[in-house]
C-alpha cells in the first residue's frame, strides 16, 4: 500500500480519484489548495503526489517548486494531472521534473495503472543495495553518497573509508586496521594519513560527519545509533 497525496480543487474529481485509488489498495490524502498540499506533503511524506496545475490559491508549478526546494520532499514523484494539454505545457511539466503528465479528461483506470508503474519504479530503486542511516544514504551499486538527499562527491578512497567504518559500526577501528583494510599494505603511508582522510571525509559529509567518532589514542568508530548526539570532544580529527 502506498500513501498518495491528491492536490486537486474539483470535488467531483477528488471523489473519483479517492475512490479508485483506495480500491487499488492505497491510502489517499486530499488537499484542495496548493499551500495546503505543500503542508501535507511536508507532514506526511507521501509516496506519490497527484498535482493539478490550476489551483485556487497558487499555481501547481509553484507547488512543484516549493516541494523541490525541500530535502525531504524533493524526491517524491509528482504526477501532473491537468486540463493544460498543449505541448509546451507538457514540456514545462517534465522540465520541472514530473514523473508523468496526464491530461484531463482521462481514463481513471489508466491513471491508476500509471501511478502503480511509478510506485514499482520507486520500489525497484529502493531495493538496490542501499544503506540508510539517519541523514546518510549510501548507494553501493552506484557508488554514490547522499546527505539529506544531496549528493556528496567522494573520492574512491574516501568512499572505501566510509564503507569500512560503517560496516564495522559500534566497533573501534584502529588506524593500522584501517590502513590495512582501506589502503592495503604500503610502506610509504603512515597512520597519520588516516587522520587526514577522516577529517576530509567528515568535512565533506557535513552533519553526517558526526557519525564518525574518535576514540582517543586508538582510532575511530562509526556510531551505532543515528539519533544519539556525539559526545563532546569525540569529533576531533586527531584522537591523540
Is 233 domain-assigned?
A: no
What domain range is 165 assigned to? 130-222
- Are residues 104 and 11 located together in one domain of the fold? yes
Asked if pLDDT for residue 112 goes beyond 70, the answer is yes
- Are residues 67 and 87 located together in one domain of the fold? yes
pLDDT at 111: 95
The verdict on pTM exceeding 0.75 is no
Q: What is the CATH number of the domain that holds 24?
A: 3.40.50.2300
- Are residues 12 and 117 located together in one domain of the fold? yes
Is 240 domain-assigned?
A: no
- The gap between the terminal CA atoms of the chain, to the nearest Å, is 51
Is 232 domain-assigned?
A: no
Please, are residues 211 and 133 in contact by the beta-carbon 8 Å criterion? yes
Question: pLDDT (tens digit, 9 = 90+) per residue, 158-213?
Answer: 998 999 999 888 789 999 888 888 876 554 567 788 899 999 999 999 999 999 99
75 vs 9: which has the higher pLDDT = 9
| Mean pLDDT for the stretch of residues 89-99 | 86
Q: What is the CATH number of the domain that holds 196?
A: 1.10.10.10
Task: Region of 97 please: left (phi>0), alpha (psi -120 to 50) or beta.
Answer: left
| Tally of domains in the chain | 2
- Are residues 29 and 109 located together in one domain of the fold? yes
H helix count then E strand count, the chain: 8, 12
- Are residues 111 and 11 located together in one domain of the fold? yes
Amino acid at each position: 500500500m502506498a500513501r498518495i497525496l491528491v492536490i486537486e480543487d474539483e470535488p467531483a474529481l477528488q471523489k473519483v480519484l479517492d475512490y479508485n485509488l483506495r480500491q487499488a489498495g492505497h491510502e489517499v490524502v486530499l488537499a484542495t489548495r496548493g499551500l495546503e498540499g505543500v503542508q501535507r506533503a511536508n507532514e506526511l511524506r507521501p509516496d506519490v503526489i497527484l498535482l493539478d496545475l490550476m489551483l485556487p490559491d497558487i499555481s501547481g508549478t509553484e507547488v512543484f517548486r516549493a516541494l523541490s526546494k525541500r530535502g525531504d520532499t524533493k524526491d517524491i514523484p509528482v504526477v501532473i494531472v491537468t486540463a493544460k494539454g498543449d505541448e509546451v505545457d507538457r514540456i514545462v511539466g517534465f522540465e520541472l521534473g514530473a514523473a508523468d503528465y496526464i491530461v484531463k479528461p482521462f481514463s481513471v483506470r489508466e491513471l491508476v495503472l500509471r501511478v502503480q508503474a511509478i510506485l514499482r519504479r520507486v520500489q525497484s530503486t529502493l531495493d538496490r543495495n542501499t544503506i540508510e542511516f539517519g541523514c546518510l544514504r549510501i548507494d553501493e551499486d552506484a557508488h554514490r553518497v547522499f546527505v539529506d538527499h544531496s549528493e556528496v562527491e567522494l573520492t574512491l578512497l574516501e568512499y572505501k573509508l566510509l564503507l569500512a567504518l560503517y560496516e564495522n559500526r559500534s566497533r573501534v577501528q584502529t588506524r593500522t586496521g584501517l590502513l590495512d583494510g582501506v589502503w592495503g599494505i604500503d610502506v610509504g603511508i603512515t597512520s597519520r594519513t588516516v587522520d587526514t582522510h577522516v577529517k576530509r571525509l567528515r568535512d565533506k559529509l557535513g552533519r553526517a560527519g558526526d557519525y564518525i567518532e574518535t576514540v582517543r589514542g586508538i582510532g575511530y568508530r562509526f556510531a551505532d545509533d543515528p539519533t544519539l548526539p556525539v559526545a563532546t570532544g569525540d569529533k576531533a580529527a586527531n584522537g591523540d
